[in-house]
Amino acid sequence: MRKKVIWLFITAFITIATISGALWMDKVTVTASDNALSEQGWSATFSTPLRKDALDSGDLYITNHNGRRVTATVMLDNAGKTLQVKGLTAGSYALHVNKNAVDGKYLTSRPVDKIKFTVHETIESVATAKELKIYFERAKSMQQKDMVVEKEESKMASADSANSSQGGGGGDHSTTNNQVEGVDEADTVKTDGNYIYAVMGNNQVTITDIRKPQKIQKAGAIKMEDEFYPSQLFLHENLLIVLGVKYEPHGYEGNEAAKISRSMNGMTTVRMYEISTPSTPKLIREIGAEGYLNGARKTGDMMYFVTNVWPDLWGMPSLDGDVLRPQVYDSKEDKETMLLDYADIAILPGAMEPSYSVITAVDLSSPAESKVVTKGYLGGSEQLYMSADHLYLTATIYETNAATSNKMIWNPGIANSELFKFTLNKTDVTFHSSAKLKGHLLNQFSMDEHNGYFRVVTTEGNTWDDKKSSENHLFILDENLKVTGSVEGLAKKERIYSARFMGDKAYMVTFRETDPLFVIDVADPAAPKVLGELKIPGFSNYLHPLDDNHLIGFGYETTAEKNPQGGEPIILTMGMKVSLFDVTDFNKPKEKDTEIIGGRGTHSPIQYDHKALFQHKERNLYGFPIAIYDETGKEDYIGLQSSGALVYEITPEHGIVLRGDLLKKNTRGEQYEEWEKEIQRLLYSKDVLYTISMKEINNYSLDTYAPIDGVPIK
């Protein structure tokens, strides 16, 4: 019975692959997974609305595997385009769609068409290579259609969770500006207050001794081979953890065609070094999981990392179920990479992508010997959020519209999100539940878990699409990912640039011409509501809490210029903007103070990477690297003015006050900043500020900002 269930689960992929061209006239298409979990239900999205009376008229109905009609809860949403089915137990079913069910369109001349799907109680493992091959053959069949992707390009927006900002500012030295309290994030630079560990190019990790600020010195370096590129770090007691990507030949034994098409394999590799003597780190273990790193987190003695794997379906003349499995590696177990066991591969409900999300759990309590567990889930993932107890992954689902030709158009105006929740118990990572949400998420900070509820903000549609203009939503879900309450349709024709969840309040910034800051009450999960709104020029793409009643916004100033062709004004991005928001009166938020830095072209990594924020809570200091550009007066030419870092004291009483100016003016003829010399991170230890670039580390007094010392690290 179990094998039969898995077989049905595997053969399910994307209904559109078989329906779009063969069954429908006038290019009516359907997007649906052929599998679902009983608790979450099943859904299908049509390119043309279904008639509202189709359910009552009998033009839509469901049968079981015996062909008998069954009773279920069937609802129409999304203006009649999305059909949701709930209340079915585990088994095989078919949705029957009579030709009169579609509004203004007709099916083929056959009286009834049906869409088959299977409902399961829980996800199960893949059993054989044949089952895996079927899944990817269906994927390959669909992907080989000529598809046109039209996706809105947008800068990464930022947000934060209710418990962030705990990192980076407490104690006698800096820690990473983490999203969730107690959950550490990997970063390019880490410090324990005595040494700085940094990944700054040249395939190496540098170790700098800062115990004597007047004479800092390079203590050592871990030089990697050419095939390994380190990118991020963790510190855990006397352990330095280095994450990176390693390229190595594939081991396709007996499959020469596969070797040729995919000769090199990218594997996320984790190397653990014992650093009781930091100048001489000792490698004690190496593990890896195929794919490129989506995200990594550490809580307590546990580390989790997620990779995304896309098998090369198009380069292989024939698919082999064996080589379609992700590869894993553990120096404790074997000297060679191994294919993931079928028992460790499952399909996420609603999965439509020919890819894997691979989750690896590492017990750090005894790093040389502890357990490492890797699981592969068919179905892609984009954003990652993790609390101490749960891991959440999201994937964007694009509704397909039919074109006048045989091409399929992926319409970014109809982009929804699949949400997957996993329970964490040491190395036991268990799929918990899933949900579908309207709209797409910008990044990991669009999500937040609080008091057993999950809060998320999404943007539906696009600002430039008149037919499906953008609007923004906030959803609150219970522990089983059932929506308990929502606020929908905010800021039409705008999109979310940043959000912040702080306990019972949510703050969201949208933008098109002005920057509306929304204050939303989320204390009642069943009835969230907007309390206040502030509209100002510019926008914030990162929000950071100062205290319970104040937020700091990092973003850009903007200006509106007349459109010579008429219509809406042209919005130009100007200098960087730092805003202090006062939300003491939730109904009337206000911008208490601002700081405009530079002109057009000015940029800082804080605008897309929250880890670039320096903070010292006791001193109320906030800083960031920056490159300042402005117009030179020569035909609006924009040139580099200076680069380095700025440190501000920000308080409700005195606003935004510049304390540390670590800028270096550009030299004659210098049009752009020199990447290797540009500051990437700032941190502190005791009363000393440190700046880290690719080439050097320099330090300054936190009292006067006078330079103290410096050391090359290349």
How open is the CA angle 350-340-310, to the nearest 5 degrees?
A: 50
Q: Which of 112, 142, 127 is nearest to 34 (CA)?
A: 142
Contact between residue 187 and residue 637 where contact means Cβ atoms under 8 Å apart: no
pLDDT for res 637:
73
**Integer-rounded Cα radius of gyration of the chain:** 27
User: Over the chain (714 residues), what is each successive 10-residue block's mean pLDDT?
Assistant: 41 37 49 74 81 82 89 82 85 85 54 72 78 74 43 38 51 93 96 96 92 96 92 97 85 48 72 96 96 96 95 67 85 88 87 86 95 92 95 82 38 73 96 91 91 95 75 95 94 90 91 79 95 88 93 91 75 91 94 95 94 96 95 73 96 97 83 82 97 96 97 87
Tell me the backbone φ, ψ of residue 618, rounded to 5 degrees.
-65, -30
CATH number, span 2-122: 2.60.40.1220
Q: Quote the pLDDT of residue 445.
A: 86
347 burial (CB, 10 Å; 0-12 / 13-18 / 19+) is buried
The dihedral through the CA atoms of 536, 541, 542, 543 has a sign that is positive
Coil, strand or helix at 174: coil
Q: Do 381 and 357 form a contact (C-beta atoms < 8 A)?
A: yes
* 226: nearest Cα among 200, 211, 248: 248
pLDDT number for residue 186: 97
pLDDT score, position 161: 42
Contact criterion met (CB below 8 Å) for 339 and 326: yes
> How far, in Å, CA of 31 to CA of 324, rounded?
25
- CB-CB contact of 677 with 694 (8 Å): yes
pLDDT of 21: 33
Residues with Cβ within 8 Å of 44's Cβ and at least 6 positions away in sequence, in order, are 15, 30, 31, 32, 82, 83, 95, 115
Given strand 550-561, what is the order of strands in its sheet? Answer: 539-547, 550-561, 570-582, 590-597
Cα–Cα distance for residue pair 465/486, rounded to 1 Å: 24
Contact by Cβ (8 Å): 292, 310: no
Domain ranges in the chain are 2-122
Does residue 206 contact residue 695 with C-beta atoms inside 8 Å? no
Half-sphere exposure of 499 (CA within 13 A, CB side): 25
CA distance 352 to 14: 6
φ and ψ of 57, to 5 deg: -80, -10
